[in-house]
Amino acid sequence: MNYWLFKSEPSTWSWDNQVAKGDAGEEWDGVRNYQARNFMREMAIGDRGFFYHSQTEKAVVGIVEVIAEAHPDSTTDDERWECVDIKAIEPVKTPVTLEMVKGDERLSEMALIRNSRLSVQPVTEDQWRIVCEMAGVSP
């Protein structure tokens, strides 16, 4: 199983929006970046991800699961763009802020820090465990 991080501006699509979709989940659409798309193509059903709020909150706020592999993005006719479907699994007990991630040496390699503009990122198993621990959820 692989781990990922999904970034969204809460004013556009928030954790609460995601939770409201329940087990049916929702497309992670609107991605118009090749790197991010390519990561989505690598995703498999059952992969886990962090749901990160950018801009105002700048924190990991929930855990999601991939429930559909990459398929054409329904919000565009452009065949280049694809997306996966994800559903909310559980909220974190403690939001893991960007500041906390930056403050932990073990997380210095995270794409969140190294390439802050990338909206869909891979997370290593070690990073996953560390952030889950900080968040107060089981990995």
Interface residues toward DNA, by CB under 7 A: 7, 9, 32-35, 54-55, 58, 98-99, 102, 112, 115-119
CB of 128 to DNA, least distance (A): 18
CB of 24 to DNA, least distance (A): 25
User: Quick one: 23 or 77, whose CB is closer to DNA?
Assistant: 77
CB of 22 to DNA, least distance (A): 25
CA-CA distance, 119 to 54, in Å (whole number)? 9
Amino acid making up residue 121: Q
User: Quick one: 102 or 106, whose CB is closer to DNA?
Assistant: 102
User: Quick one: 12 or 74, whose CB is closer to DNA?
Assistant: 12
The CB density around residue 60, as the number of other CB atoms within 10 Å, is 30
CB of 68 to DNA, least distance (A): 22
Q: What are phi and psi of 120, to 5 degrees?
A: -130, 120
CB of 2 to DNA, least distance (A): 20
CB 130 within 8 A of CB 106: yes
Is residue 113 within a helix (H) or strand (E), and if so which, with residue range? helix 111-114
User: Quick one: 41 or 117, whose CB is closer to DNA?
Assistant: 117
CB 31 within 8 A of CB 40: yes
User: Quick one: 66 or 101, whose CB is closer to DNA?
Assistant: 101
CA-CA distance, 28 to 8, in Å (whole number)? 10
